[in-house]
Amino acid sequence: MVPQGGNTGLCGGATPDASGREVVVSLSRLNRIRDVDTAGNTLTAEAGCTLHAVQAAAEAAGRLFPLSVASEGSCEIGGNLSTNAGGVHVLRYGNMRNLTLGLEVVLPDGQIWNGLRRLRKDNSGYDLKQLFIGAEGTLGIITSAVLALHPRPRSTALAWIALDDPSAAVRLFALLQDGFGERLNAFELVGRAALELVLQHVPGSRNPFKAAHPWHVLVELCDTLLDSPLESMLADALAAELGAGHLRDVLLAQNLGQSRELWRLRENISEAQRIEGFSIKHDISLPVARVPEFLDAAARALIREFGNVRVVVFGHLGDGNLHYNLSRPVSEDNAVLIEQSQAVNRIVYDLASNLGGSISAEHGLGQLKRVEILRHKSPLEMNLMRRIKTALDPRGLMNPGKVL
């Protein structure tokens, strides 16, 4: 049985094999918002609800469901849960593990576990919901979830910033985190190659600066207070850094329209890459302080091995999640590079793992990384995962060939 939602996954987690013997179980018709509790700040949604539908239901109730990913119009809550989705606001609100209070799950033997609890505190045994979040449908089929809501932000400030290198970005992140705490809502890293693809392929895109810069960050502050002086506070902090020579240039969004334009530059990177053509993609995470070390070492190793590759880097620097993608500008040369994906992956994944990172930050393992993960988890970890799988699904019925 292969559970399937909005088909926006990137690792083959919802794709059946070629045997013709697997049954695809679509969750898309389980699409009701069952309950919204504004006093308890919870929303109960079925697994087939799109993320956008959940966001809209929360907004209609005067609340915020903060998960935000590029595919939110088509991805479904069941898939978000099964891959422990992250996105641009993990820095402040956490990923799906942090946003989920309870689950309803159909187990491999047909029993239905009703764990739709709305409690913030429940220390009455094992936290069973965490087994199913991030399990990619290999332990059971999630059919509904109680999600945590938050107050809606009423004040925002946003800036697009040019810097010399990732080390300057990490330094700025630490400074803003110290100064603004939980009001730091997003801190996104965008390399020059990523921005250039958007400017080339996405109509209406404009470079925020006249000059070209090697690195950029998109910073967003939010506050639930209506008249919070975020704009002036952010302007003062960045002016001081610019004056000290730590930044190359700064653009503060002056209105909602400009904020949306700047966000579109970040959100359209994946679409621009799709238009450009195939690339070797990686979804990795690292300790934030080691991101510059990884980027420097990976670039040197890949250029040494494969020559002048184009490295497209972007991601959620605030939580250490990088989308690290490689290609060549000429399609014929790119085809040759794509054939060497396994060798490229080995360099990227080994380096990330050696620096204390993960080979999958928010996309899951699916089919694509289930063998590779054996190199990066200890035999004990893999054995524990297999024992859990065997205990819940002894016949191997649930999404076979994924994760393990």
Cβ atoms of 125 and 189 within 8 Å: the answer is no
Tokens found for residue 106: 């159909």
pTM for this entry = 0.92
CB count within 10 Å of CB 47 equals: 25
Rounded CA-CA distance 255/209 in Å is: 17
Which residues, other chains included, contact 284 with Cβ-Cβ below 8 Å and sequence gap of 6+? 321, 322, 324, 348, 349, 352, 357, 358, 359, 360, 361
Residues 6+ positions from 113 with CB-CB distance below 8 Å: 103, 104, 105, 106, 107, 128, 140
CA-CA distance, 128 to 107, in Å (whole number)?
A: 12
Residue 44 and residue 103: Cα distance in Å, rounded?
A: 9
Q: 292 CB contacts (<8 Å, ≥6 apart)?
A: 165, 166, 167, 169, 170
Q: Which pLDDT value is given to residue 9?
A: 87
Would you state the pLDDT for residue 10? 84
Domains observed in the chain? 2-151 (3.30.465.10), 155-271 (3.30.70.2190), 277-375 (3.30.70.2740)
Q: For the chain, how far is it from start to end, CA to CA, in angstroms? A: 15
Cα 299 off chain centre by = 22
What region, left, alpha or beta, does residue 359 occupy, with left being phi > 0 and alpha being psi -120 to 50 degrees?
alpha
The per-residue pLDDT for 297 is 97
Contacts of 194 (CB under 8 A, 6+ apart): 269, 272, 312, 313, 314
- What pLDDT is recorded for position 113? 98
Per-residue pLDDT tens listing for the chain (404 residues): 999 999 888 888 899 998 999 999 999 999 999 999 999 999 999 999 999 999 999 999 999 999 999 889 999 999 999 999 999 999 999 999 999 999 999 999 999 999 999 999 999 999 999 999 999 999 999 999 999 999 999 999 999 999 999 999 999 999 999 999 999 999 999 999 999 999 999 999 999 999 999 999 999 999 999 889 999 999 999 999 999 999 999 999 999 999 999 999 999 999 999 999 889 999 999 999 999 999 999 999 999 999 889 999 999 999 999 999 999 988 788 889 999 999 999 999 999 999 999 999 999 899 889 999 999 999 999 999 999 999 999 999 999 999 99
d(CA 8, CA 4): 10
Contact 283, 360 (CB under 8 A): yes
The confidence score (pLDDT) of residue 11 equals 87
- Picking from 382, 381, 375, the residue whose alpha carbon sits closest to that of residue 345 is 375
CB 250 within 8 A of CB 159: yes
* The two structure tokens encoding residue 6: 């909005």
What are the backbone dihedrals phi and psi of residue 160, each rounded to the nearest 5 degrees, phi first? -110, 125
Helix 230-243 vs helix 166-180: angle between axes, to the nearest 10 degrees?
Answer: 140
Measured in degrees and rounded to the nearest 5, phi and psi for residue 312 equal: -105, 110
Q: What confidence score (pLDDT) does residue 271 get? A: 92
For residues 351 and 362, the answer to whether their CB atoms sit within 8 Å is: no
CA distance 193 to 310: 8
pLDDT at 80: 96
Q: Give CA–CA dist 148/152, Å, rounded.
A: 13
